[in-house]
């Protein structure tokens, strides 16, 4: 920026823009790549047209600044705000040109101002205000709204029309008022409170469930199950619902979470065991419902029935408003240790509420019981290459799949990616060592199995594609069962220590049975199993794909959002620990603090030239650890950041 001296302290206006739910956008990987490039060009045009400068840009958003010697100070606020309004107003036109016009790109735009220590390389500009904006854009921004802080609003000329179109949102950030264009209308939750034990409340909800043919799966969170579970099935089994009952048995999968009887008194333990047997022998065995049950051993915030709708059959896209839920306050111990009953129930329909408001309901309930707090309550861990040192097993499964695929599945030369052939030669005579080296490079570059598959194969035959993808998955799980990977040094002791102060959980694409066996074999000093320390262990099912669309396998964000709903802990009280860029992107999408596990940086650098799985060092710095002994230090960084952030 002409006229500015490196190291000087300068006033700037900072603009942050972010695509909402970017990982869930439709289209193939190539289509999404082109979309992000086109959107970046669109934003660059709007920014440069108003004398702005790019600080950084990722695939789905970035940060820009306004100001400098060539800009009058009172004009840089006007330029920044006008550029934001300009890009928001032009968004409809951009969406109309998309390959998937039925799905609009939505953005959050937030503007803040403050001093910065200037650097010619704008990515190295140092500014506390810029860091605050980058870390808290979700707390400041709103969907398809331009939000400016009071520092920016107060600098707009009172004679400028741009100031008159911004309205006070009645929200605050760091004691600063927030203003919006267009006018922000707080969402009025459409809800009704009911007594959970009155027939009418649950009956009304079940009427909606039974008549909704788009419901594909149902999660039931209960305590003993005597109310929620039994009444759920009794409603479906009523004579007037015979057709619905048949549809549920054929089409709807049901997962039930019950309180672990080991952690209950004798009466409740007896009740839980009775319901557990009834689920296995009656609901699943005799009546034929597709039921899976599991147990948790932390006190729930609520009990609930959460129904997940499927896709729009005409458009084959996720239906907007995919959940219908009945949630209720629960028997919960008060400070004196006595039971206090909260008997209000809450019926919600996400078609009226949307994703964020649904999670906000959970947030408000959690605060009802524990009070307002940003203290960390639950730490969620990825499994592979975060706790378990499993990358060698995963790579070996790919190598064996590739070496066998050509002959076993009668593949042709054009069933392989041309770049893969150019690197290794004819797939019928591959050298194992060279193949492993190439697959390791692809594995570390891509991380997700569907992306690795595309880098190796270009199979058109759907049956062969499904067979090979499933074969690789079975090989991987078999190898992990037969040759248990080691845990990273220090991981077991740290997890044991953390479990005394936090709920700890695991979510993974690895089979749940494999994860459980892994933790069962990890013994603590007192011979107690590590598995007992986890509040939740959520792995994948053993079922394999009957059909495979590699571009539409659910991402980590969708899984993480579902886990947040099941756990019922506010996002601001969760921390996620993972190793991949998809873990990081999912946390940004859902709004959870992220700690990166960089546990084999030298190996990663050998294959990719980087020390991290992330595409590049994000401007929003996040804590990371390279050895488990340093994890607590990374956690303290998160806690320190929370104490300085949004109030």
> For residue 354, what are its two tokens?
């949307």
For 521, the 3-state DSSP assignment is helix
Answer yes or no: are the C-beta atoms of 365 and 302 closer than 8 Å.
yes
Q: Show the CA angle centred on residue 80, arms to residues 121 and 147, nearest 5°.
A: 115
Q: Could you give the C-alpha distances from 211 to 93, 218, 251, 322, in angstroms and in order?
A: 38, 14, 14, 15
Which residue in 202, 497, 223, 447 sits closest to 325, CA to CA? 202
Contact 126, 160 (CB under 8 A): no
Q: Rounded to an integer, what distance in angstroms lies between the CA atom of residue 340 and that of residue 150?
A: 43
Residues in the chain: 647
Q: Long-range contacts: 474-477, Cβ < 8 Å, 24+?
A: 474/544, 475/397, 475/400, 475/401, 476/393, 476/394, 476/397, 477/510, 477/511, 477/514
Taking only the tens place, the pLDDT of each residue in 512-555 is 889 988 988 887 766 678 888 887 888 876 554 444 555 555 56
Measure the CA–CA gap between 48 and 51, rounded to whole angstroms.
Answer: 5
**Given this model, what pLDDT does residue 568 score?**
63
Give the DSSP H/E element, type plus range, for residue 176: strand 176-181
| CA dihedral angle for residue 333, residue 334, residue 335, residue 338, rounded to 10 degrees | -70
C-alpha–C-alpha distance, residues 41 and 37, integer Å: 6
In tens, the pLDDT along 257-315 reads 887 787 677 888 898 999 999 999 999 999 999 998 877 655 445 677 778 776 544 44
Residues 567/570/572/576 CA torsion (nearest 10 deg): 10
537 near 512, Cβ under 8 Å?
Answer: yes
Q: What is the pLDDT of residue 34?
A: 83
Query: How far apart, in whole angstroms, are the C-alpha atoms of residue 314 and residue 217?
Result: 20
In b/e form, how buried is each residue of 56-89, taking b as 16+ CB within 10 angstroms?
bbbbbbbbbbbbbeebeeebbbbbbbbbbbbbbe
Instruction: Report the pLDDT value the prediction gives residue 172, as an integer from 0 to 100.
Output: 80
Cα–Cα distance measured from residue 640 to residue 608, given in angstroms and rounded to the nearest whole number: 32
pLDDT at residue 72, rounded to an integer: 58
- CA-nearest of 359, 263, 375 to 568 is 359
Q: Match 């030669």 to its residue by tokens.
A: 425
Cβ proximity of 468 and 405 under 8 Å? yes
Helix (H, G, I), strand (E, B) or coil at 646: coil
> Reduced to 3 states, what is the DSSP secondary structure of residue 617?
coil
Query: What is the chain's mean pLDDT, rounded?
Result: 79
Kind of pairing, strands 503-511 and 536-540? parallel
pLDDT confidence of residue 325? 67
**Dihedral in degrees, nearest 10, Cα atoms 294, 299, 304, 306:** -60
- pLDDT score for 625: 93
Question: Would you state the pLDDT for residue 323?
Answer: 62
- Residue 588, preceding bond cis, omega within 30 degrees? no
What is the CATH number assigned to the segment(s) 193-372?
3.30.870
Predicted pLDDT at 101: 54
Distance between CA atoms of 122 and 467, rounded to whole angstroms? 49
How does DSSP classify residue 145? Answer: B
User: Phi and psi (nearest 5°) for 428?
Assistant: -80, -10
* Nearest alpha-carbon partner for 507 in 558, 451, 442: 558
DSSP, residue by residue, 538-590: EEE-S---SS--GGGS--HHHHHHHHHHHHT--GGGEEEEESSHHHHHHHHHH
Q: Which neighbouring-strand residues pair with 49?
A: none
CA-nearest of 579, 578, 576 to 591 is 576
What whole-number distance in Å separates Cα of residue 61 and Cα of residue 87? 13
**Tens digit of pLDDT for each residue in 572-589?**
888 999 998 888 988 888
Q: Which CATH topology does 381-388+485-644 take?
A: Rossmann fold (3.40.50)
Phi-psi region of 67 (alpha: psi -120 to 50; beta: other; left: phi over 0): left
CB of 205 closer than 8 Å to CB of 297: no
Instruction: Compute the distance between CA of residue 201 and CA of residue 211 in angstroms, rounded to an integer.
Output: 16
- Answer whether 108's CB lies under 8 Å from 72's CB: no
- Residue 74 φ/ψ region, left for φ over 0, alpha for ψ in the -120 to 50 degree band, beta for the rest: alpha
Which residues of the chain register pLDDT less than 50? 187-200, 299-300, 312-321, 329-346, 350-359, 361-362, 365-366, 368-370, 544-547, 618-619, 646-647
CATH of domain 9-181: 3.30.70.1230
Q: How far apart are CA 235 and CA 247, in angstroms?
A: 14
């Amino acid at each position: 920026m002409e006229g500015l001296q490196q190291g000087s302290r300068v006033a700037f206006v900072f603009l942050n823009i972010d695509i909402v739910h970017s990982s869930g956008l439709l289209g193939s990987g190539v289509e999404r790549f082109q979309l992000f490039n086109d959107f970046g060009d669109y934003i660059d045009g709007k920014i440069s047209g108003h004398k702005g400068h790019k600080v950084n840009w990722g695939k789905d958003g970035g940060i820009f600044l306004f100001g400098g010697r060539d800009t009058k100070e009172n004009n840089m606020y006007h330029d920044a705000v006008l550029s934001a309004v300009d890009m928001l107003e032009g968004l409809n036109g951009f969406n109309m040109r998309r390959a998937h016009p039925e799905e609009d790109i939505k953005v959050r735009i937030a503007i803040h101002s403050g001093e910065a220590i200037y650097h010619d390389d704008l990515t190295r500009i140092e500014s506390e205000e810029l860091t605050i904006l980058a870390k808290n854009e979700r707390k400041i921004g709103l969907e398809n709204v331009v939000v400016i802080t009071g520092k920016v609003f107060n600098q707009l000329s009172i004679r400028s029309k741009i100031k008159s179109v911004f309205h006070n949102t009645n929200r605050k950030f760091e004691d600063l008022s927030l203003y919006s264009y267009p006018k922000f209308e707080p969402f009025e939750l459409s809800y009704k409170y009911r007594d959970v034990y009155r027939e009418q409340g649950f009956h009304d909800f079940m009427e909606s469930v039974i008549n909704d043919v788009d419901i594909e799966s149902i999660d039931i969170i209960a305590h003993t199950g005597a109310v929620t579970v039994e009444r759920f099935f009794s409603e479906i089994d009523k004579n007037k619902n015979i057709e619905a009952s048949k549809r549920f048995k054929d089409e709807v999968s049901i997962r039930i979470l019950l309180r672990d009887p080991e952690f209950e008194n004798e009466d409740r333990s007896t009740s839980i065991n009775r319901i557990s047997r009834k689920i296995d022998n009656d609901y699943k065995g005799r009546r034929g419902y597709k039921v899976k049950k599991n147990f948790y051993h932390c006190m729930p915030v609520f009990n609930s029935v959460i129904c997940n709708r499927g896709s729009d059959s005409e458009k084959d896209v996720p239906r907007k408003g995919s959940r219908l839920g009945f949630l209720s306050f629960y028997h919960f111990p008060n400070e004196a240790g006595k039971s206090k009953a909260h008997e209000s129930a809450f019926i919600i329909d996400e078609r009226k509420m949307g994703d964020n408001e649904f999670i906000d309901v959970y947030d408000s309930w959690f605060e009802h019981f524990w009070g307002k707090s940003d203290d960390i309550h639950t730490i969620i861990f990825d499994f592979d290459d975060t706790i378990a040192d499993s990358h060698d097993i995963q790579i070996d499964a790919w190598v064996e799949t590739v070496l066998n695929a050509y002959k076993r599945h009668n593949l042709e030369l054009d069933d392989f990616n041309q770049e893969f052939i150019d690197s290794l030669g004819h797939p019928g005579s591959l050298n194992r060592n060279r193949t492993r080296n190439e697959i390791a490079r692809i594995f570390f570059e891509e991380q997700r199995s569907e992306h690795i598959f595309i880098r190796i194969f270009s199979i058109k035959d759907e049956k062969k594609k499904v067979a090979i993808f499933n074969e690789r998955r079975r090989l991987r799980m078999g190898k992990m069962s037969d040759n248990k990977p080691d845990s990273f040094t220090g991981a077991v002791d740290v997890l044991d220590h953390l479990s005394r102060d936090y709920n700890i959980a695991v979510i993974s694409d690895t089979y749940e049975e494999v994860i459980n066996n892994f933790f069962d074999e990890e013994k603590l000093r007192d011979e107690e199993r590590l598995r007992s320390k986890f509040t939740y262990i959520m792995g994948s099912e053993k079922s394999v794909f009957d059909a495979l669309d590699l571009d539409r396998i659910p991402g980590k964000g969708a899984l993480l959002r579902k886990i947040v709903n099941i756990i019922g802990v506010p996002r601001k009280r969760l921390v996620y620990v993972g190793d991949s860029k998809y873990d990081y992107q999912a946390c940004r999408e859902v709004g959870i603090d992220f700690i990166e596990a960089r546990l084999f940086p030298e190996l990663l650098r050998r294959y990719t030239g980087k020390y991290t799985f992330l595409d590049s060092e994000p401007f929003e710095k996040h804590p990371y650890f390279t050895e488990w002994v340093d994890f607590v230090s990374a956690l303290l960084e998160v806690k320190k950041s929370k104490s300085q952030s949004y109030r």
